Amino acid sequence: MATNSVSKLSMLVLGLFWLLGVQFVQCSVTYDRKAILINGQRRVLFSGSIHYPRSTPEMWEGLIQKAKEGGLDVVETYVFWNVHEPSPGNYNFEGRYDLVRFIKTIQKAGLYANLRIGPYVCAEWNFGGFPVWLKYVPGISFRTDNEPFKRAMQGFTEKIVGLMKSENLFESQGGPIILSQIENEYGVQSKLFGAAGQNYMTWAAKMAVGLGTGVPWVMCKEEDAPDPVINTCNGFYCDAFSPNRPYKPTMWTEAWSGWFNEFGGPIHQRPVQDLAFAVALFIQKGGSFINYYMYHGGTNFGRTAGGPFITTSYDYDAPIDEYGLIRQPKYGHLKELHRAVKMCEKALVSADPIVTSLGSSQQAYVYTSESGNCAAFLSNYDTDSAARVMFNNMHYNLPPWSISILPDCRNVVFNTAKVGVQTSQLEMLPTNSPMLLWESYNEDVSAEDDSTTMTASGLLEQINVTKDTSDYLWYITSVDIGSTESFLHGGELPTLIVQSTGHAVHIFINGRLSGSAFGSRENRRFTYTGKVNFRAGRNTIALLSVAVGLPNVGGHFETWNTGILGPVALHGLDQGKLDLSWAKWTYKVGLKGEAMNLVSPNGISSVEWMEGSLAAQAPQPLTWHKSNFDAPEGDEPLAIDMRGMGKGQIWINGVSIGRYWTAYATGNCDKCNYAGTFRPPKCQQGCGQPTQRWYHVPRAWLKPKDNLLVVFEELGGNPTSISLVKRSVTGVCADVSEYHPTLKNWHIESYGKSEDLHRPKVHLKCSAGYSITSIKFASFGTPLGTCGSYQQGTCHAPMSYDILEKRCIGKQRCAVTISNTNFGQDPCPNVLKRLSVEVVCAPATTAAEPNWRG
Ligand code: GAL
């Protein structure tokens, strides 16, 4: 009886606390309707995705440090099952896959981690992160209420949670991990799979929570996520999102900072003004956790790219570029945004906003805490016009599609559309490390009598045969052509038709390349149609089917086919059509060069290589090329320029840097306006250029001397055109407007209270060890264009160059105040002027180049 009343009483107290919104801090990370709480404190958290296998361990510290300096609190990564468990029960946590080291690097930098275990990750990663062997577990069906799948998924999730626990990496143990994710964007699948989907999702949540990590679990894009799992939003915008329960915080686990690219497509970019606008929108509506996907995209080394057809570069137009260099102005503008939001943190987490209208498309969101903190967000949703609004008896000028942040409800410290930070010009420059002698070896196309082949009647699905151990599968058959066939006597050649389910095919007739055909990410199925030239007697038809990354998204993608499933038929023979689909086919997995390990320093001498000059005379398809080079001095990131080549793979010192393909980008590369809803087709670059010309060569993979470069070329390019380049900041630009004389409070808005002390300034800064050697462009007036293509406008102060030269030449950094007096006199009174500058950065020891004026 006594126990009963005690428990009733405690229930009552608990209920009372709940009503009052009091949190029980049993573990150090918890949540309420406003935010994630760490050690009892509600936090507005900025996070960024950096996927550990997409860079090298040597890069991790630098990337994470840059993330910290960019104003992030959290680093997020998926966990990639297929690299960790290449065969059942055999684990690999070495090198790029050293997850513990990665998380400890985050910890050492003083940041938190969000571990998105999945284990389904999507991520444009081969097979969405699932090991290919998983597909061959008897009775398996992925991501649904299926015992073999659930057993395997639980096994891997437990393995990862166990590993993290054993290293004390959860926040509840004093480690950096504050959040974990189970599954990934399951909502759409769940709906398609009905009850089975719902059962699986509920099971997954329960299984994860049962692992007792002491930190919250999230499910992204899963509106039914059961308590206590938090459902979160992914997208280009998430301001319309709210969680499925009123007591969960509003979280955005993937704020897409750019987009991925596919071979043959243009480069996608997202203007930072729009990204910053989307983030500010989310915060003003009460969102308290934002993860940039990606903050550093990196590289799909080896055959890790999914898709199919995803490029080796996973640059993503992220704030840190593929090579680990900061991308300006994206990085700097977001850093300023983070600073501005952090100034509002107290008000944001302790109050709900009061929303008022400031015009037809303008609003104010005001957060006032009990202790008197006030923060305001003034927004202009109009995509075409700036707006002059009145707020708290002051005027504010809002550019189109922008939000101003006022951490004290008075002074604007940031506007999403006003990019004040400098832009950096990054270029691929030649290195002084030439490729030494090129030698070549032609892949043997006559695989027929090889002992490693198998035969079958009919056409087999590619992955069932290769188990994805290689991109390549040979399908070989033969046809007997009678000497009386008409085409041998002047008649029309027969036509070969090959229907493939993906992803590319090269057709060899009697050992000679007779044509190729390729699918695309949208149309994996494609048909090859081409004339064939046979001789009388037996002819070999060898089809080299090439996978370009396995699918990573789509309902039951594990059942999707790859390879040549037919029909394969010859048309135009005297007998009419000859269907070869059910003929005897010989199969060979992979290339001979792969089997002999030609790519590695150990296997290289197993064949006779042909000297480069001979090979260059007649570039052959299916050819291995090798060369040696010394590591260039310095520490700029390196890449290989593959412009003169076709399609294949690249290895350095035996390690694969990935697939290359000089497919030219088609698309619409018209100008892109930041204002208005962003979607990837809106802002495209690189039309008419190879989608990917440069391939990252991590410095850490090089020895000082004699590095082995091996290239396997499918189509036939000229290897002597291959060169090593370095990614360098060659120049910086800045573009800053003077204050508007007619807007009284403009100076207060942008630069603080005192007009004299806080006039706008142009800041220019080269990388460490570099200095400003010349002024490529300088104009105070009404200059036109953007960084790299500035031009003088109708108004130009003649002293512009002199001032910049005097202040900046020979220095690593400089600043110039924007005022008429600084430039002699006002070059055009009553006109709003700006200063646009582009300078050249060069190693500090180099003598100054003559400037470009003359
Ligand atoms: C999301 C997915 C990510 C990634 C992204 C596109 O839907 O969760 O893993 O694939 O799309 O880059």
Encode pLDDT of 544-578 as tens digits.
999 999 999 999 999 999 999 999 999 999 999 99
Element (DSSP H or E) covering residue 669: none
- Of residues 523 and 615, the one with the higher pLDDT is 523
Encode pLDDT of 251-282 as tens digits.
999 999 999 999 999 999 999 999 999 999 99
**Is the confidence at residue 26, as pLDDT, over 90?**
no
CA nearest ligand 1 atom 4, residue: 123
**Is the confidence at residue 751, as pLDDT, over 50?**
no
Confidence (pLDDT) at 449 = 59
Residue 609's contacts (CB-CB under 8 Å, 6 or more residues apart) are: 439, 440, 441, 626
700-709 mean pLDDT: 97
**Is the confidence at residue 294, as pLDDT, over 60?**
yes
Q: How far away, in angstroms, is 707 Cα from ligand 1 center?
A: 36
Mean pLDDT of the chain: 91
CA nearest ligand 1 atom 11, residue: 123
**Counting atoms of ligand 1 from 1, which one is nearest the CA of 260?**
12
Q: How far away, in angstroms, is 112 Cα from ligand 1 center?
A: 22
CA nearest ligand 1 atom 3, residue: 123
Give 51's Cβ-side CA count (13 Å radius). 29
Confidence (pLDDT) at 739 = 58
Q: How far away, in angstroms, is 123 Cα from ligand 1 center?
A: 5
Cα separation, 183 vs 208, in Å, equals 10
**Is the confidence at residue 342, as pLDDT, over 50?**
yes
**Is the confidence at residue 645, as pLDDT, over 80?**
yes
Cα separation, 193 vs 199, in Å, equals 10
Name the β-bridge partners of 363: 357, 379
Task: For residue 737, give the nearest of 799, 794, 780 by alpha carbon.
Answer: 780
Cα separation, 673 vs 366, in Å, equals 29
- Of residues 731 and 2, the one with the higher pLDDT is 731
Confidence (pLDDT) at 763 = 87
Q: How far away, in angstroms, is 16 Cα from ligand 1 center?
A: 41
CA nearest ligand 1 atom 9, residue: 123
Cα separation, 349 vs 353, in Å, equals 10
Cα separation, 670 vs 681, in Å, equals 10
SS3 of 830, please?
coil
Confidence (pLDDT) at 851 = 42
185, 443, 713, 838: which is the annotated catalytic residue? Answer: 185
Return the best residue to mutate from 234, 295, 313, 550 for the ligand 1 pocket (most ligand atoms within 8 A of CB).
Answer: 234
**Counting atoms of ligand 1 from 1, which one is nearest the CA of 123?**
9
User: Structure tokens of 348?
Assistant: 């944001």
Return the best residue to mutate from 50, 116, 293, 552 for the ligand 1 pocket (most ligand atoms within 8 A of CB).
Answer: 293
148-167 mean pLDDT: 98
pLDDT band at 452 (very low <50, low <70, confident <90, very high): confident
Encode pLDDT of 183-222 as tens digits.
999 999 999 999 999 999 999 999 999 999 999 999 999 9
Contact 235, 256 (CB under 8 A): yes
Cα separation, 68 vs 70, in Å, equals 5
- Burial level of 67, CB count in 10 A (0-12/13-18/19+)? buried
Give 460's Cβ-side CA count (13 Å radius). 21
Confidence (pLDDT) at 447 = 55
pLDDT band at 760 (very low <50, low <70, confident <90, very high): confident
Cα separation, 578 vs 569, in Å, equals 6
pLDDT band at 3 (very low <50, low <70, confident <90, very high): very low
Cα separation, 396 vs 430, in Å, equals 49
**Counting atoms of ligand 1 from 1, which one is nearest the CA of 78?**
9
Element (DSSP H or E) covering residue 735: strand 723-737
Task: For residue 93, give the nearest of 170, 153, 160 by alpha carbon.
Answer: 160
Q: How far away, in angstroms, is 416 Cα from ligand 1 center?
A: 25
Element (DSSP H or E) covering residue 779: strand 770-781
**Torsion of the alpha carbons at 276, 279, 285 and 291, rounded to the nearest 10:** -170
Return the best residue to mutate from 78, 122, 126, 231 for the ligand 1 pocket (most ligand atoms within 8 A of CB).
Answer: 122
- Of residues 580 and 16, the one with the higher pLDDT is 580
- Among 11-20, 498-507, 631-640, the minimum mean pLDDT is found in 11-20
Confidence (pLDDT) at 243 = 98
Return the best residue to mutate from 54, 184, 254 for the ligand 1 pocket (most ligand atoms within 8 A of CB).
Answer: 254
**Is the confidence at residue 631, as pLDDT, over 70?**
yes
**Counting atoms of ligand 1 from 1, which one is nearest the CA of 294?**
12
- Among 524-528, 537-541, 788-792, 810-814, the minimum mean pLDDT is found in 788-792
Cα separation, 776 vs 419, in Å, equals 21
Q: How far away, in angstroms, is 254 Cα from ligand 1 center?
A: 8
Name the β-bridge partners of 336: none
Confidence (pLDDT) at 4 = 44
Question: Is 69 one of the annotated active-site residues of the chain?
Answer: no
Confidence (pLDDT) at 769 = 81
Q: How far away, in angstroms, is 125 Cα from ligand 1 center?
A: 10
Encode pLDDT of 572-628 as tens digits.
999 999 999 999 999 999 999 999 999 998 899 889 999 876 666 677 899 999 999
SS3 of 103, please?
helix
**Is the confidence at residue 145, as pLDDT, over 70?**
yes
Task: For residue 174, give the nearest of 162, 165, 186, 183 by alpha carbon.
Answer: 165
Q: What is each CA distance from 161 to 114, 183, 469, 752, 797, in whole angstroms?
A: 13, 14, 28, 49, 63
Q: Give the start-end residues of each E strand in 555-661.
A: 568-573, 576-579, 584-589, 610-611, 623-629, 638-641, 647-652, 655-661
Confidence (pLDDT) at 27 = 52
254, 336, 439, 749: which is the annotated catalytic residue? Answer: 254
pLDDT band at 752 (very low <50, low <70, confident <90, very high): very low
Contact 406, 679 (CB under 8 A): no
CA nearest ligand 1 atom 5, residue: 123
Task: For residue 620, give the nearest of 749, 548, 513, 740 by alpha carbon.
Answer: 513
Contact 243, 231 (CB under 8 A): yes
User: Structure tokens of 575?
Assistant: 């007998």
Q: List the Cα angle 745/748/752 in 5-degree steps.
A: 170
Lining ligand 1 with CB less than 6 A are 121-124, 184-185, 234, 254, 260
**Counting atoms of ligand 1 from 1, which one is nearest the CA of 124?**
10
Encode pLDDT of 655-704 as tens digits.
999 999 999 999 999 889 999 999 999 999 999 999 999 999 999 999 99
Confidence (pLDDT) at 15 = 46
Question: Is 254 one of the annotated active-site residues of the chain?
Answer: yes
**Counting atoms of ligand 1 from 1, which one is nearest the CA of 316?**
12
- CB neighbour burial string for 241-277, b if at least 16 within 10 angstroms, e if fewer: bbbeeeebbbbbbbbbbbbbbbbbbbbbbbbbbbbbb
Cα separation, 552 vs 454, in Å, equals 29
What would the 3-class secondary structure string for 508-528 be? EECCEEEEEEECCCCCCCEEE
- What percentage of the chain carries pLDDT values higher than 90? 81
407-430 mean pLDDT: 91
Encode pLDDT of 359-418 as tens digits.
999 999 999 999 999 999 999 999 999 999 999 999 999 999 999 999 999 999 999 999
Q: How far away, in angstroms, is 442 Cα from ligand 1 center?
A: 39
User: Structure tokens of 216?
Assistant: 């919250």
User: Structure tokens of 519?
Assistant: 């699918």
Contact 103, 177 (CB under 8 A): yes
Q: What is the largest CA-CA distance in the chain?
A: 107
